[in-house]
Each structure stands twice: as structure tokens, then as C-alpha cells.
Structure 1
């Protein structure tokens, strides 16, 4: 027993050292994200595809439950000291930590969008922002179509086709399978309370969507979470790829979902950068049907949201992102506008 325990601890120590070394080395991080991760994701997603439910959600739930319940159970039996109990809990959490980073989390240490694509960063100027917003609103209005249903098969086919098309030029992996299996979150009512519409399950390389998603949200959320499965960790980059994929689709509903998905980020940046008069002028250019849809969409999610629970989740996720080299935390989502402007300037040149 002692020999096996020692071997287990040595393996754990080696894996921890590997994780920390990779996080500090750009060469190792690049090797992981470009060579190791595609292989790992193919294996793990093939396994998770065998199950109709989100096994990652179940694993997280059981792990949290186990870490809390085990000390109580062990002490009730009065055969284990608190020291051993806490050491066992701590070791289990370290194994989960290693699994998280080796299975997906080391992608946080890879090169960012600008480094991967060699597209230069373009700083905001009144001119380029105005040009971007003018073109965006024109395309948003032009793409508008009522979306009353979700065609999951079409969305999957379009997402796989377009990620395969764009992968090489835009620095993102191609899907590991032609039929990536999206799953519904196990705890949808609770997830809606904290305002989460989708997630990437790193432990088994599966991506999940909130069961309450509206038809207009579904295509953009699907392609956003698929971007995470393809190794993208930045929320801004995932928004960018979802936008690029959806707005290139020939399916009108998917295309509109892509434009609509960044409307809040665009308006938020416009309100911050433009004068009140310029903002009002810009806002009035948006089709009234789209404004009404945005209001209804906001009201729909607000009715499900719990401010108290949501605030805790926001705080935890903000710390999580900042702890994994996303310095802007949850504000990272809105940085998609900067990526879109840089991409537009690069295309124009």
C-alpha cells in the first residue's frame, strides 16, 4: 500500500510539474495547443459522445458533493483523523486540477488571436469605429429574419462546414468530428438563474447548451461553445469565431443570429465612445423589429435570472478568468468588437 501510494504521489508531482512548466513556456504551450490538444480532444470527445447526457456536468456535481460529504462520512465512522481526511480531499482536488489543465486548460497559455493569425492589432479610432458600426448596422438590418424554431441538424452542418473552411486562415482548429454532439446542461433551471447560456466541459471535451435558449440565441451560442471545444479559451475570441461562422452561413436564421449576438457589445462600446447625439443617431438606424427582439430577449433572461446567485457566479467566474491569463475577466466578452475592427482593417488593406 505504501509503495503504491508513493508511486501515485510521484506521478501526481510529475504531472503538476508538467502543467506548471507548460504554463511558463510559450514553446511547450504552443506544442500542447497545436499538437497535443487536438489528439486529446478527439479521444475524449469520442468517449463523451457515447453518452446522451453531459457527463462533465455530472462529474463536477459528484466531485463537489464528494469533497463536501466525504469528510462528514469519514468522521462519523471515527476511523480516520482530520489530517488524513483533508489530505485525501486535497489530493483528489489536485488530480482534478491536473486533469482539467491536461485535458483542455493549458490552451489558456497558447498564443492569442493576433499572434496565431498574424493579423495586427488595430487600436480604436473615431474613424475606424464609426466605419465598423455603420457597416455592422447595415448588415444587421439586412440580415433580419424572424426565427421561430431551431434546426439543430442544419446548425451543426453549417458550423462544421464553416469551421473547416476558416480554421487554417483564422487560427482555430477544425472540428475533431463531423458530428460533434452538443448536450443540454443537466441543471438548466439553475444555470438560467446565473445567466449562463452555454459551457465547455473540459474534463471530457464536450460542449453543452442551456435548455432555455431561444431560437435566435441558439446558432451563435452553439458556434461560440464549439469554438471553446476547438481550443479557444478567450470569450472574446469565441464570440469572434461564432460571429464569423454564423454571418458566413447561407441560412438566413443562422446569419442573423451571428449579427444579433454582438449587438449588445457593439452598443455598449458605442455608448462609451460616441457622443450622446451620435449614439442616438446610430441607435435609430436599427430596425424597430430588432430593437423589439432585443428587449424581449433581455426580458426573457432577466425573468429567469437571480441577482443574488448570479452575482456570486459572476464573481467566481471573473476570478477564474483572471487566474487563467484573461486579465479583463468577464469584460473579455465585449472585447470581441476590438477583434472585429482589427479583422476588418486587415481585410480592407
Structure 2
């Protein structure tokens, strides 16, 4: 009788949590309420637990769930449980994983979009403004160029966190904590093969960075992943914050990394928007040292990349993003330029 009571309570809690996920997904404002009023406390608690161990607690948790789903049918059949009961238990485990993912971090996908929170409107493409922006961008990129600086990862992390603490409150980002440090994946080589430079571990609110990153990639990638930990789910917005935070650094190398991290998106948009002659003229303004570093980066990662595994990962992640209120899927990464152009010059104040 006691076991049945516990089972009913367990399922009642599970159904309530599922209802909460559905409410945040469908009810306007509910996702933003979660991001501002619930997530800051949840993230501090979970990332605080994760900070105790040097490895990725999220990856260990996922592995534990997978092994449980595989082993449970054998264990229950050994104890003569019917297949119907086994299926119900497997479904229950999957539902707990689902609610853990969303209540721990995933409901940030349901918050108000960047333009609503920034109190701006998405601007239509204007050729004059775009040309002005990419011209200024190249000037700033060239001026910031510096070869590898002697900064430790801890110094980079500390400086970037300090700038994130200055982000205007209307954007609704949580404040980074000193104990929140990026983890290294237990299967880092696999992420390199599929072109993943970092990712957000949702079950314990852990950011992860690929430990094969080139020095010029580390500040931008770390700032991108940290923004996810601070409540940003949109990949374009994560690129936006990585750029904005890095270029505001007092350290010239970190500033250069901010411009360098945004360069591929600017380069792609310029190639699409300008005619061939204008694009060539613009591209020729970029310092040869920077273009060489960009090519070396591409060669470096191509040597580690598996086309087959990368294609599978791209398809799965595209499907995942589209299923979480990001209709453009993986193309969302490149929408960062539109965000930059939509804001007035004094938006940070």
C-alpha cells in the first residue's frame, strides 16, 4: 500500500512538472517569467553542485540514463516483470529526463525573443547601413589585430564575467558566479569530429568548451557558451553577446578575438549581399595576417572533422533547434548581424 502511495505521488509530481513545461511553451510571458524568476535560482543550485567535481556531471548523468534504459528491462525480466510494466517504467524514465532538461535550463527556449527584451524592432536590410557597418567592422578588426597574448584561461574567464555583469537588466541575463567554470568534455574528440566548439550541459547548467580550441577562438567561444548558462538559448543571440562582450574587453587580444569570432558571419553576409567587385574590394581591406589566420583555422578543424558524423550531427541539431522555438534551425547562428544592426549606438547604457 505504501509503495502504491509513493508511485501515485511520483506520477502526480511528474504530471505537474510536465504541465509546467507545456504552460511555459504555450502561454505568452510564462517562459520569460521562468527565465527571470526561476532559472537564476535553479542555475545557481545546479551549477554549484557541478562545480564540486572537475569533470562534466551532465555527461555522466546522460550516460547513467542511457545505461539505465538498457539495463532496466533485463533486470525487471529477471524478476519476472511483465513487458507492459517494463515499458511503463522506461517511459517514466524518459519523461523524468524530459522535465529535468526543461526545468533545469531548456525552458529558456520559451522566453521572449531578443528584440522584445531589447525593446527594439527587427530592421529590414538596408544596403547603405550594411555597407557602413561592414566597413567600420573591418577597420576595427584590423586595428585590434594582435598575435597570441599571454593570457591564462582563468584571466579570460574573469574578465568576460566582469563585462557580463554590466549588461543592461532589460535583457534578462542572470549574473555569472565566480564558481562557474567551463568543463571539458569526456568525449572531446567526438565533438571535434562533428565541429562542435562548445555546448551547454542543461542537466547541471554546465558550460563546456572544446579543449582543442585555438587560442584565438577561446574568448569568443567561452563568452558564447557562458551566455547560454546565463539564460540565452538562441544561438544568434549567444554570438551577439560573445561579440559584444569580447570587444568591450580592456585586453586587446580578447577584443581582437571578438572581431575574429564574428568575421565568418560578416564575410558570408558580405559575399551574399554585395556584387563580386564590391565584395572583392571589401575583402581586400582585411589584413593579410587575419585572412591567413582564418584559413589556418579552417585547415586545423577540417583535419579533425568527419563529414559523415558532422552531417548526422547537423541534421539532428537542426531538428532539435526547430523543435524548440528556433524555426531557422542551425541557420540561426548567422542571424547575429541583424541583431547588431537593429540596436542604436547607445543601447548598452
Number of the residue aligned with 2:343 = 343
Question: Structure 1 residues 309 and 346 mapped into 2: Cα distance closer, same or farther (>3 Å)?
Answer: same
After superposition, give the CA deviation of every residue in 1:232-286 in whole Å (9 maximum; x if it has no partner): 0000000000101100001111111110011111111111111111111111111
Cα offset, 1:228, TM superposition: 0.2
Matched, 1:152 2:153: yes
Q: Which whole-Å CA distance do the structure 2 matches of 1:11 and 1:19 have between them?
A: 13
**Which residue of 2 is the match for residue 142 of structure 1?**
143
Q: Structure 1 residue runs of 4+, over 4 Å off?
A: 72-75, 344-348
CA deviations over 1:276-300 (Å, ceiling 9, x no partner):
1111111111100010000010111
Partner of 2:199: 199
Residue-by-residue CA offset, 1:131-176 (whole Å, 9 max, x unaligned): 110011111111111116551121111111100112426442221x
3-state DSSP class of the match of 1:165? coil
Match of 2:82 in 1: 81
- In structure 1, the partner of 2:10 is 8
Q: How does 1:286-305 map to 2 (within 5 A)?
A: 286-305=286-305
Match of residue 325 from structure 1 = 325
Equivalent-residue separation in structure 1 for 2:344 and 2:266 (angstroms): 14
**Secondary structure, aligned partner of 1:262:** helix
Structure 2 CA distance, aligned partners of 1:100 and 1:340?
30
Return 5+ residue gaps in structure 1 as ranges: none
| Segment of structure 1 superposing worse, 187-196 or 5-14 | 5-14
Cα distance in 2 for partners of 1:304, 1:329 equals: 24
In the aligned structure 2, how far is the partner of 1:253 from the partner of 1:66? 46
Across the aligned residues of Structure 1 and Structure 2, the Cα RMSD in angstroms comes to: 1.7
**Equivalent residues in 2 for 1:260-271, closer than 5 Å:** 260-271=260-271
Report the Cα offset of residue 347 of structure 1: 5.4
Residues 1:63 and 2:65 are matched in the alignment: yes
Matches within 5 A, 1:160-239: 160-168=161-169, 170-175=171-176, 177-239=177-239
- Post-superposition Cα deviations, 1:21-41, rounded to whole Å, max 9, x if no partner, equal 121112322211111111111
Unaligned runs of 5+ in 2: none
Worse-superposed segment, 339-348 or 281-290: 339-348
SS in 1 for 2:166: helix
Within 2, Cα distance between the matches of 1:137 and 1:72? Answer: 61
Deviation at 1:68, TM superposition (A): 3.1
